[in-house]
Chains A and B, each alone.
Chain A
């Protein structure tokens, strides 16, 4: 397996524009996590899914952020409209829970977002 795949690796956009980040989890994994990493706040959990269903979105900063998982192999994180304070590295991770045992989370390479 190629691991968790995120695209794009880097994104530069202007304030007010819509940004869509993409993630392909490891095949067979049933949990998917979206994190935001900044120097000030560290790694913040934004939202996570189980079997494509959002379980906890309490970390989503505001209504400008939305996430979807239309199927087991794809998820998106959208920011509309984007603001300079959204500049960060966004990580996607996936894991598998089976029979009460959980694997560790495997992370993608992250998307570095810069909003100017």
Chain B
């Protein structure tokens, strides 16, 4: 069974600085998708970024980028120029060929002014 591990329960960053959230996963599949979702206090789940495993190029979305290391089964999220609005829970997720979407336990990000 696929598992997703986020080893950092909590992280903090100063406003305007850069922070990296870690995620590792375990799978025997070669084709899959990886996601980072953000959950602010409103509890709405918001997609931040997605990565297709067959693409070698790391995905980027404005201030958000990933470091996808397929061999190491690692998928970290980098947030540049952190803003107060980035404070939230961040969840890493894996979706394989069966479409089963599995989440890690999340990392709570605090942004300090």
Q: Which residues of B contact A33 (CB under 8 A)?
A: 101
Residue among B43, B95, B98 making CB contact with A56, cutoff 8 Å: B98
Residue B11 interfacial (CB < 8 Å): no
Tell me the residues in window 36-95 of chain B with beta carbons closer than 8 Å to chain A beta carbons.
43-45, 47, 50, 91, 95
Question: In the bound complex, what is the Cα–Cα distance between A110 and B44 (angstroms)?
Answer: 8
Instruction: Check A93/B101 contact, CB under 8 A, given A43-B106, A109-B44.
Output: yes
Kindly list chain B residues whose C-beta atoms are within 8 Å of the C-beta of A35: 103
Q: Would A42 and B101 be within 8 Å (CB), given that A104-B35, A104-B47 are in contact? A: no
* B interface list, Cβ under 8 A from A: 33, 35, 43-45, 47, 50, 91, 95, 98-106
How many Å from the CB of A44 to the closest CB on chain B? Answer: 8
B91 / chain A contacts, CB cutoff of 8 Å: 42-43
Which residues of A approach B to under 8 Å, CB–CB?
Answer: 31, 33, 35, 41-43, 45, 48, 50, 55-56, 89, 91, 93, 95, 97, 102, 104-105, 107, 109-110
The complex places the Cα of A48 from the Cα of B103 at a distance, in Å, of 14
A102 and B100 in contact, given A42-B106, A91-B45, A107-B44 (Cβ under 8 angstroms):
no
Q: Residue of A at shortest CB range from B103? A: A43
- How many A-B Cβ pairs are below 8 Å? 49
Give 10 nearest A-B pairs by CB, closest first: A42-B105, A107-B45, A43-B103, A104-B47, A31-B99, A110-B43, A105-B101, A104-B50, A42-B106, A104-B35
Which residues on the A side are within 8 Å of B44 (C-beta)? 107, 109-110
Using CB atoms, name the residue of chain B closest to A30: B99
Contact of B99 among A91, A97, A109 (CB under 8 A): A97
Interfacial chain B residues near A43, Cβ < 8 Å:
91, 103, 105-106
Distance of A55 Cα from B45 Cα, bound (Å): 23
Inter-subunit contact A42/B100 (CB<8 Å)? no
* CB contact under 8 A between A45 and B101, given known A93-B45, A104-B47, A109-B44: yes
User: Chain B residues near A50 (CB, 8 Å)?
Assistant: 99
